Structure 1
Amino acid sequence: MSELDTKAEALIDDMKPTSPSAAPGQNFLPPETRRDIPGQYGSTPVWRAGNGPATLFVHGWDDTHRIWRRFAQDFLQYTRPVLMMDLPAHGASKADICTPETAGISVADVCTAEGPFDTIIAHSFGCDAAVRAIAAGADADYLVLIAPALLEWADYQRLKGHDDATITRAGELLAERGGVIARTDYRAALTDYKGAILLIGSEADESSPLELIRQLAADLPTAKLVEDDALSHRDLALDPRILSEITAFLGY
């Protein structure tokens, strides 16, 4: 194997999610709130608290449902039902792979089994999954997309420090194996969505450039945009001010 192929294989291996461990005691809600939703790519673990139309929380890459502990706790304090899930190959999921396609189908499976949902709140790669699920027929009155994954695949690899030759070769190897690395088209996925949309981004977030989020907001007639100056990519899903913006958007 050439040095370039070795580096390309290492890049591909690095693409596998490495979310934190999911021992039962580490989950946000107690074990009795969990169930597993069967689907095309295996079962999806979910945790529900409260009855009636809920808010569905969808985490991002290399994360688990536990990132939502602050936001979900606030919802629960005001007796608003919540449902959290682990995407394929993340957290408590037993799946071996996670792609935009498998993640989107997983969210769609959850929406079919556990709906109706009042709101879907997603972060980062979870936004890909959420909009793909909506394009497949999932629905909610409100959609909140925090730091959506709008960069091209190659751009994300450059942010990780990979050089262009390695990225190009990795793309070729993935294509030979039937891998799909195309960016999710948010505009197309949300063409028929009739609900209200909130987009959230930060000037300090290189992974989800604010300018791209602004462009997306301008293209979506029902979208509102919230901007921040200093929060990092992950902190956008943890910050109290962002939570306040979301609850105000939802009319709480």
Structure 2
Amino acid sequence: MGDSQRTAPTPMKISPTPAQAAHAFITPHLFKAKAPAASPVPDLHVAGPQGDLGVWTAGSGPAVLLVHGWEGNHLDLGAFVEPLVAAGRRVVSLDLPAHGVSAGTRGSIPDLAAGVRAVADAIGPVEAVIAHSIGSPVTVLALDDGLACQRVALISPPMRYTDFARATAHQVGVDPDGVVEALRDLGIDIDRLDVSTMAPRLRQQALLIHSAEDRVTSVETTRKIAANWAGSRMIEVKGLGHRRILRDPTVIETVVDFVVG
């Protein structure tokens, strides 16, 4: 058989080490997380844990903080801005650390929660927080660490950080226990990052909204969070997935009515 007929060898797939997988797990992909070209210049720059954070404001009145999810940016919850401003609220949106225009390269939940607290401290009293996806445990950790507000709305929240870490490890062919241990070696208290165990310590009024067929985070997790959060209210919707839920008029109206009280 001639050289032209030989089959090229299959490249050997090299799996990352647990340490490499753990590092990748807390590093947003910048090509996804960067701010869109149409994004306006931030109104404020707040000193965050890894450098300046971009912050946008609209309206006046009690402050409502909007917290986006993983590899997102401040525009993700943009559909809430006008209704909140019309309801007499000052809306504050940020790009989380290592996202959008904000500085940083590391984006563990504790890193992101530190950014939320830095912005909250800079803007003054916060009446309410609206968070989506990973922004939800980020917000809950910030609350558990002392962020003061009266109401919190969590949309499509995941529950346990370890679940995401283990799922990611499986996807890249790495031992899940090794990745969890590597995250601990990076100084991340991953075992603490369970919304259902932090929720009983919180006294804020909570609204939890989840779409039944969400393929990114399970509605079952939100049911467990609601069961452990005294005084919380959960709403299950259908057909809105993980991201369409942020643009649904009924969801937006429900959240704004809750925030305004």
Report the TM-score, using the length of structure 2 for normalisation: 0.82
C-alpha change, 1:140 and 1:177, in structure 2 (3 Å) is: closer
Matched with 1:21 is: 34
**Equivalent position to 1:148, from 157, 163, 173:** 157
1:109 aligns with 2:118: yes
| 1:214-233 to 2 correspondences below 5 Å | 214-233=223-242
Partners of 1:51 and 1:251 in 2: how far apart? 13
| 1:1-252 to 2 correspondences below 5 Å | 5-6=15-16, 8=18, 11-12=21-22, 14-15=24-25, 16-18=27-29, 19-22=32-35, 26-27=38-39, 30-31=40-41, 34-155=43-164, 158=167, 162=171, 165-178=174-187, 180-182=189-191, 184-251=193-260
Partners of 1:61 and 1:176 in 2: how far apart? 22
Partners of 1:229 and 1:218 in 2: how far apart? 20
Deviations 1:105-124 (A, max 9, x none): 11111111112122100011
How many Å apart are 1:241 and its aligned residue?
1.7
C-alpha change, 1:193 and 1:150, in structure 2 (3 Å) is: closer
Partners of 1:175 and 1:251 in 2: how far apart? 40
- Check conservation: 1:53, 1:115, Cα contact below 8 A: no
- Check conservation: 1:153, 1:183, Cα contact below 8 A: no
How many Å apart are 1:39 and its aligned residue?
3.4
C-alpha change, 1:115 and 1:88, in structure 2 (3 Å) is: same
Report percent identity of matched pairs.
27
SS in 1 for 2:171: coil
Unaligned 5+ segments in structure 2 are 1-11
Partners of 2:185 and 2:64 in 1: how far apart? 39
**Greater mean deviation of Cα atoms: 148-157 or 114-123:** 148-157
Unaligned 5+ segments in structure 1 are none
C-alpha change, 1:169 and 1:4, in structure 2 (3 Å) is: farther
Paired positions, count: 247
